[in-house]
Every structure is written in C-alpha cells, then in structure tokens.
Structure 1
Amino acid sequence: MYRKVFANKVFDRKVVLITGGCAGIGRALAMRLAQAGARLVIFDLDQQALDSLVQHLADHHNAEALGVLCDVADAAAVEQAMALTVERFGGIDVLVNNAGITHRSSFADTELAVFQRIMAVNYFGALHCTKAALPSLVARSGQIIVLSSLSGFSPLLYRSAYNASKHALHGLFETLRYELTGSGVNVMLVCPGFTATDLRKNALVGDGSVAAQPPLAMGKVASAQDVAEAIYRGALKRRRLLVLSNVDWRARVLARFFPQLFERVLLPRLSGLKPPRTGRF
C-alpha cells in the first residue's frame, strides 16, 4: 500500500523521466510521483507495458504521461527520445536512471558478451541518459537520481558484472556531482537492499540466457512501493546518498573496515549461500 499523500507541491507539474519505468521500483516510483502531481516520461523496451502504464496513470492518478520505447544502451535512441521529451514537455526536471539488468554466474563461467550487455544497460544507459538530459537539468536546477545497489559498496558472489557496473555508477556520478557544484543540480545515489522486483527473476546466466532456476533466498526483501516511498522522500530533501539496505548498517561497515569478517560472515549470506560456522556474530 502507498503511504498517505501529503500536501507537498515540490514535484507538482515537474517533468520526471524514469528509465525502465514499467516494472519494479521504476513503476512504483512513477505511481508515487504521479500522486505528487508530476508529469511523467517513461522509457522502457515493452510497448504494450508502456501503453498500459500510461493509461493507468491517466485513469487512476489523472497524470499526464508519455511512454517512449527506448533502449538506454543505444546512445542514438536515447538522443531521439530525449528530444521527443523536450519537444512534448519543454524540458526535464528530474531524471531517474533506474533501468538495469543483473546476472547470476561465476566470473569464470560468464561470457564476455554478458559483461558487455550489463555494462551497456546499467552504466552506459545511465551515462547516455544523463548526457542527453544534462542541459535541461542545468537550466531547471533539476535532479539526477541513480539507482545503484548495496553491491555498490559491498560485493556479492556470482555478480561480478553487476557489481562492477554499480561501482562504475558511483565513480561516474560522484565525480559529476562535484563538477555540477554551483549549478543547482542535485545528484542522489540510491542503494536499496534486496527488493521484490523482476530484476532477480530475469537474471542472466553465464551464456547470456535467462536463469531457469528461481532466485536465491536472501532474507528480508523490501517491497518496491516502500523503496519508491523512500526515494521520493529522499528526493524531496535532495539527498546525496540514500542507503536503504535491509541488511542494515553491517554490510557497509564490515565491507569497508573489516573486510575479512565481511567475507566470512555476511558475504555468503548476502549472496544466498549458507555461511560457514565460525561462531556468533
């Protein structure tokens, strides 16, 4: 269930572009921002899902929305989609780089094409969209919101390509934040924990096909709606970093300051494996 909608006008009539917005966190965030009065642009690869979401936003939230078929890994397609957005709405106030894919395979068993595809979507997709939207964002003193992951600071086994893409996002957008100092543009990196979305269900395996086995059990899983609500509130405050890990502070602290303890105790658990018995934690 969505939280009670407070009378906050920060996003009223603002143009918010969400990539990968037809499912999971992207869809939940579109709903939440529609409640806040935003005008929405959704990039996705599924035309039928786009049409359905735009209709739902109009029928249930009286929201003005545009669905655009766009592969964010294609720089030319992104340029065209951004031009259409600016033509339709006049500019972009908030860019949400949400589109992403993952995999579940060891480094040795993962083909190079899988690394390239994951970087193309997760990293270059965000880069393409930000590059194309930046003039409008600067003109409007807007916001860039980047969906990273707890793996942006804590490694996960059998996710080497995914982990690398999230680390790359941090490097790119933390640098961009400094370069945009004084421009009025805010950059917020969001690091959710495990969330109930189709991302894990559609994980690739080493040969690039979709995993046949069900996703691994990883303890507490947050709802997409709760994550979207937290992102909305973080955007209201123009936060720089939003860590929503439902494995609490331990993963981040242990990974940074006690890496051996992290590898022995938390890393197997976070990766869906049973940790060896090494005493109580």
Structure 2
Amino acid sequence: MQRKVFASKVFERKVVVVSGGCAGIGRALVLRMAQAGARLAILDLEQGELDSLVRHLADHHNVEALGLHCDVADATQATEAIARVIERFGGVDVLINNAGITHRSTFAETDLAVFQRIMAVNYFGALHLTKAALPSLLQRQGQIIVLSSLSGFTPLLYRSAYNASKHALHGLFDTLRYEIKGSGVNVMLVCPGFTATDLRKNALVADGSVTRHPPLAIGKVAAPQDVAEAIYQGALRRRRLLVLSNVDWRARVLARFFPRLFERVLLPRISGLKPQR
C-alpha cells in the first residue's frame, strides 16, 4: 500500500511538457499525467484543439494546463514555448518529446523535402525542446522521455526517412544520457509498436502530400491509452529504454543476429506486406 501511495504522488504538481499532445499517444499521456496530478504544458499545431483540451483538463481533472501553439521543427518557436512554460510554472520537471510524423514511399521516389520535414519534426523537434529545457531539467533533476519506435532498431520498408529520424534520436539521447550522468536527470527512450493513432492516417507520400489511402494492415495494434500507461509506469521507475513493440524482442534479435531471416520473415509483415515465400 505504501508503494502505491508513494507512486501516486510522484508527479503531483510536477510540470510536464508534452509535444504533439492533442492526439494519439500524446493526448493519452496528457490525460494520464493529469490523473497523476501533474501541471501540464501541451504543445501542438492546432490552437482550437489545444484550447479544447485545456478546458477538458480543467473541467474534468481540476488540472492546471497551458496549451501552446508550437511547430517544434522551428527552433525559435520551440525555445519560446519552453520559456513561456518556465515563466508560467517556474520550471520543467518532465519533457516528453512525442511530436512526430511519418511517410510511406520508396527512398528513390521520395522528394528531398519529405526527408527534411520528417527529420525537422522527429529529430530536430526533440533536439530543440531538450536544448531549451535542459537547464531547468538539470536544476530540478527531472526526466526526458523520447518517443522513438520499433524502427529505432529495426528497418521498416517504405519508411526510410522515418527510420533515419528514429535512429538519430537514439544516437542523440543515448549520448546525452552519458554526458549528464550523475546529474539526477533520467533519459528514457520509448519504442512503441504499431499504435491506433492518426500518425499512419496522416502519413506523407513521395511528393509531400498526405496519403489518401487507408493505413496498411499490420496485425495487432496497441491502444494509445495502453501505451501511455506503460510509459507512465516506466517513468515512475525512471527506465532508460522501454520497448513496447508488437514484435518486441523477436525483431531486435532477428534484425541484429539473423538479418537474412529477419528480412524474409518479419520485415515484410511489420511493414504491412505479405511474407515472401
């Protein structure tokens, strides 16, 4: 009982920043942290959705929240957003780098602008926010949580830009973890599998437009609420790596030690294709 009571108080009144917080895993994380009593700063692109979510948090969770329009790919906007959070709440205790976009197109056909945009949001967005929030996080011995993907350690077909951005996140934040070792700040990389969010529905195609085709069939899909709960529990324990993939250890082991078997058996399936015979 003591452990449960203690766990329920860990994030009470803590300042939690969530990028891409109006939908999918981001929204589920906002609601989970609200249940834990956190004060929330939500960054997203749609001001109307931000305002609606802030009202919901006040009305249904009695939680203080700030909704900020912010394109995390823009360094100035990201820096100003963190400055406003610190001005409003006094600091940042938890930064959740969740904002992300994806695409579905072959490397050869994909416009360079698509690679640049995906890297700008997925990689540089997390970099911009972390750079701005790090002094406060160090002062408060806080936590950085980064939403990666199963593609952070295994390839997915037709997602070369997305895969590259997730690999880059691991390179950046694994290094940061070592550089601030002993500071009291925890860095947790989270690798969900396929989740029922709008990410795949709003995937870009080769020319940069949003796909008009339905998401590929990829088998079992996790609920955002289940992913958010797992991340919350991982944050309580200040985990370094949280792998929630639908194919979890099998993909990691096969991709690293049996690459040919992985390419033949698992890669087509997790990419939404029929296995090769």
Structure-1-length-normalised TM-score: 0.96
CA distance in 2, matches of 1:5, 1:210: 46
Query: 1:199 is paired with a residue of what secondary structure?
Result: coil
Q: Quote how far apart the aligned CAs of 1:260 are.
A: 0.6
Query: 1:41 is paired with a residue of what secondary structure?
Result: strand
Equivalent residue runs for 1:137-216 within 5 Å: 137-216=137-216
How many residue pairs get aligned? The number is 274
Deviation by residue 1:143-165 (Cα, 9 ceiling, x = unmatched): 00000000000100000000000
Q: Give the unaligned 5+ runs of structure 1.
A: none
Instruction: Note if 1:57 corresponds to 2:57.
Output: yes
Query: What amino acid maps onto 2:227 in structure 1?
Result: V
CA distance in 2, matches of 1:169, 1:148: 7
CA distance in 2, matches of 1:266, 1:93: 39
In structure 2, relative to structure 1, the CA distance for the partners of 1:43 and 1:268 (3 Å cut) is same
Query: 2:29 is paired with a residue of what secondary structure?
Result: helix
Contact 2:156 2:267 in 1 (8 A): yes
Equivalent residue runs for 1:249-260 within 5 Å: 249-260=249-260
Shift >6 Å, 4+ stretches = 4-7
Q: Quote how far apart the aligned CAs of 1:270 are.
A: 0.5
In structure 2, relative to structure 1, the CA distance for the partners of 1:104 and 1:91 (3 Å cut) is same
Deviation by residue 1:175-215 (Cα, 9 ceiling, x = unmatched): 00000101100000000000000000000000000001101
Contact 2:19 2:26 in 1 (8 A): yes
1:116 aligned partner? 116
Query: 2:238 is paired with a residue of what secondary structure?
Result: coil
2:31 aligned partner? 31
Query: 1:201 is paired with a residue of what secondary structure?
Result: coil
Q: Quote how far apart the aligned CAs of 1:248 are.
A: 3.3
CA distance in 2, matches of 1:19, 1:240: 20
1:41 aligned partner? 41
Q: Quote how far apart the aligned CAs of 1:6 are.
A: 8.9
- Give the root-mean-square deviation of aligned CA atoms: 1.2
Query: 2:200 is paired with a residue of what secondary structure?
Result: helix
Q: Quote how far apart the aligned CAs of 1:5 are.
A: 10
Q: Give the unaligned 5+ runs of structure 2.
A: none
Q: Quote how far apart the aligned CAs of 1:142 are.
A: 0.2
CA distance in 1, matches of 2:7, 2:59: 21
